[in-house]
């Protein structure tokens, strides 16, 4: 067993939304409030700079700023991860260096947002980036969102070649994630996402946890805690409470950013502003946000 196989990241980790002011600038106070609300909900980890954070709309300086802010606001109270975005090995390593400097506990590598290549090229790319850090590394495998990805066997081989590639961030149906767990001999901890869809069955198949945007994060935390306390009925009840909203927002990444962020705003009292280009909300969508927010109840720091 290598030292990375003992990493005990688990549970519900919140990945923050990029919150902007009316001038489309990152809103410091809103980001701080978002982290506070997630921590108050009992999340088991914090994360930033994934798809929900609209990372491709942020400059390199803004990505580093968000790392600074989220690290400061988390205050080492729970494990902290940053997704690493960049079109080249050098750019991704530069982002990792900043993540290391602010105290990240692990990093999540996305495939470079340029071109579409064969698996061997992505394996070399990920290996070179992972080899530049001693942090535990996860590979985000989301072919449905990125249009490119690796097979379960390729991920298994990559993890064998690079011991610090010790986690997987999936974005797939339970049946696919179950196959990935089997093909990797249940040796590489897997976090799923997809807005919490199929939440309880993800736990049943052995997912280590979920990385979710914060619109329904309190219900997801309570579901995880209930399940692992042996209360499957309680876990299912929490999942049923959040499921209609999760289905609504997870109709695609643009829909998540438009309506998931507004659902979080309605529950938290944080005004939501878009950074263009963006999917703009319509009347029906806003009415649904209002209804789901009322059903879910407010997010609050007690």
- Judged on CB neighbours under 10 Å (0-12, 13-18, 19+), 237 is middle
Question: Is the CB of residue 210 less than 8 Å from the CB of residue 233?
Answer: no
Is the sign of the CA dihedral 249, 255, 256, 259 positive or negative? negative
Q: Check whether 211 is labelled as a binding-site residue.
A: yes
For residue 277, say if its preceding peptide bond is cis, omega within 30 degrees of 0: yes
Measured in Å, how far apart are the chain's first and last C-alpha atoms? 42
Binding residues for pyruvate: 211
Binding residues: 211
């Amino acid at each position: 067993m290598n030292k990375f196989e003992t990493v005990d990241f688990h549970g519900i980790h919140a990945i923050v939304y990029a919150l902007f002011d009316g001038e489309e600038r990152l809103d410091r106070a809103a980001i701080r409030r978002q982290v506070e609300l997630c921590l108050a909900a009992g999340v088991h980890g914090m994360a930033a700079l994934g798809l929900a954070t609209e990372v491709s709309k942020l400059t390199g300086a803004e990505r580093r700023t968000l790392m600074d802010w989220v690290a400061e606001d988390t205050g080492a109270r729970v494990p902290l991860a940053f997704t690493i975005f960049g079109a080249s090995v050098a750019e991704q390593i530069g982002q990792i260096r900043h993540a290391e400097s602010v105290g990240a506990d692990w990093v999540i590598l996305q495939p470079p947002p340029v071109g579409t290549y064969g698996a061997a090229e992505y394996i070399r790319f990920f290996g070179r980036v992972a080899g530049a850090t001693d942090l535990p590394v996860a590979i985000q495998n989301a072919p449905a969102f990125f249009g490119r990805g690796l097979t379960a066997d390729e991920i298994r081989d990559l993890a064998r070649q690079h011991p610090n590639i010790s986690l997987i961030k999936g974005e797939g149906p339970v049946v696919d994630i179950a196959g990935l767990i089997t093909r990797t001999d249940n040796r590489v901890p897997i976090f799923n996402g997809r807005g919490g869809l199929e939440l309880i069955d993800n736990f049943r198949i052995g997912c280590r946890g979920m990385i979710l945007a914060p619109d329904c994060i309190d219900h997801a935390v309570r579901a995880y805690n209930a399940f692992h306390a042996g209360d499957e009925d309680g876990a299912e009840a929490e999942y049923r409470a959040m499921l209609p909203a999760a289905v609504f927002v997870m109709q695609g990444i643009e829909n998540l950013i438009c309506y998931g962020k507004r659902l979080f705003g309605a529950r938290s009292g944080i005004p939501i502003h878009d950074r263009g280009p963006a999917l703009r909300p319509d009347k029906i969508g806003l009415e649904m946000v209002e209804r789901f927010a009322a059903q879910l109840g407010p997010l609050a720091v007690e």
